[in-house]
Amino acid sequence: MHCSVKLGDNGFRWVEAATECKYLPENEVMKLIDFCSDILVEEPNVLDVDTPVTICGDIHGQFYDLEELFRTGGQVPNTKYIFMGDFVDRGYYSLETLTRLLTLKARYPTRIYLLRGNHESRQITQVYGFYDECLSKYGNANAWKAFCKLFDLMSIAALIDNSVLCVHGGLSPDITTLDQIRTIERNIEIPHKGSFCDLVWSDPDDVDTWASSPRGAGWLFGQKVLKEFMDINKLDLLARAHQLVQEGIKYMFNDQLVTVWSAPNYCYRCGNVAAILQFQTAKQKTAKIFYAVPENQRTVPPRQITPYFL
């Protein structure tokens, strides 16, 4: 028996509309945001999550491919999910994608967890599509502003069975222990530098320790840094998203790090497959690959959104 929250008639309408790639009227989406905000504000910076659980990487507004993800991994609440951020921007349906995830969070708060990515911020969404999409669909920025306040409440990390750490980006030179993540003041816009910034912006790379990132935020970190962090915190695996990998999933650093990417044919042109990673136990896991939904099974909005790369 899975814990679900009684949302009343409104809630069922929300869930039904969101499943059909529809966004909610402004007054309704504000209620949904308020409802989810009350849930998120109670969640800690580092969520403790038990197996079995399935982890997912970037979605980036690709609504029809999110539905393919659920067909591949199982529907909520039958499957428990951790989404590692970047729900919005670049795809055609950021608003509908985020609405879909939030209706699930509202109804099944302990069966789906939403971590903050670098795109869950005011500055980035104003450049890469979500702000313009909200403005276009609602005629004003009210919903976007409310969504951004919701982003500020999202957890930064998840810890699976005390041995697998999930974050959007990577490590920080300012963070040695998990307790330092637990004490970050997260209810803010993501800063331009510092530990919070690094957790959502950093990338693993073939460097000795730390190197400056070509992204202009966060760091590149090497195998030695990761091993030290894993040893200190008694972790087996660092799971993250944030980087496109053509094969959907990529292990590095003696399999102590995994990148999961869940937006197939990213920006509708990259030709990559996508993946989710199912944990039966912390040690026993299975990657599931899925493909972009064929064009004849998706609707492309009439206006053109320029795909950007960072």
Q: List C-alpha distances in Å: 168 to 9, 57, 128, 187.
A: 34, 8, 18, 17
Is 192 known to be catalytic? no
Task: Choose the catalytic residue: 60, 119, 168, 242.
Answer: 119
Point out which residues pair with 239 in neighbouring strands: 166, 258
User: In this structure, what DSSP letter does residue 283 have?
Assistant: S
62 closest CA partner among 104, 96, 95, 91: 91
Using an 8 Å Cβ cutoff, are 146 and 130 in contact? Answer: no
Burial 268-279 (b: 16+ CB within 10 A, else e): beeebbbbbbbb
265 closest CA partner among 126, 90, 98, 101: 90
Q: Cα–Cα distance between 84 and 55 in angstroms, integer? A: 7
Q: Cα–Cα distance between 238 and 256 in angstroms, integer? A: 6
Using an 8 Å Cβ cutoff, are 32 and 14 in contact? Answer: yes
Burial 40-76 (b: 16+ CB within 10 A, else e): beeeebbbebebebbbbbbbbbbbbbbbbbbebbbeb
> What are the residue numbers of the active site?
119
